[in-house]
Every structure is written in structure tokens, then in C-alpha cells.
Amino acid sequence: MSIEALAPYLAGPGAGLLVCILVGAGIWKLLRDAVMPLISTTVDRHLQQIDTMSKQHQAEHMRILETCERIDRKVGGVLGRMRDDQ
């Protein structure tokens, strides 16, 4: 094949395909080098916040349980005194 026979393909569909491949490679490089580290950092920070919230929730849950136990003991004492008075 001569260059005259290849010229329409190189200027038309071949060039378009090459441009698409180069643009795709550029987008992939941008995603890999810029977006993925940003997403990774954001996800790590979010997971740390979730861990902190979980620890705070667990501590609050323990305080609520202790308070409920104290209330239960006090109510039990009041009921015991009421039975003794009857």
C-alpha cells in the first residue's frame, strides 16, 4: 500500500481513534494521579470520624445503662419501703 492509499484512513478514522485513545489515557492518568488519592484521603477521614462517633456512642450507652441501674435500685428501695409500710 502506498501513502496515497493510507492517507484517507490516517486523516479520518485512524486519527479519530488515536485522539480517543490519547484522551482516554489522559483521563485515566488524571483519575489515577489526582482523584483516587483525594478519594482515599476523604474515605480515611470519614472512617476515622465514624470510629470516633462509635466510641462516643459506646461511652454514652454505658452511662445510660449505669443510670438505669441506679434508677432501678432506687425504685426497688421505694417499693420495698412501701410494702413494709402496708
Average pLDDT rounded to a whole number, residues 4-33? 87
Q: What are the grid coordinates assigned to 30, written together?
A: 488524571
| CA distance to 9, 63, 78, 79, per residue, from 66 (Å) | 80, 5, 19, 20
Q: What are the grid coordinates assigned to 8, written together?
A: 484517507
Q: What is the pTM of this model?
A: 0.56
pLDDT digits (tens, 9 = 90+) for 29-86: 999 999 999 999 999 999 999 999 999 999 999 999 999 999 999 998 888 888 887 7
Quote the pLDDT of residue 7: 76
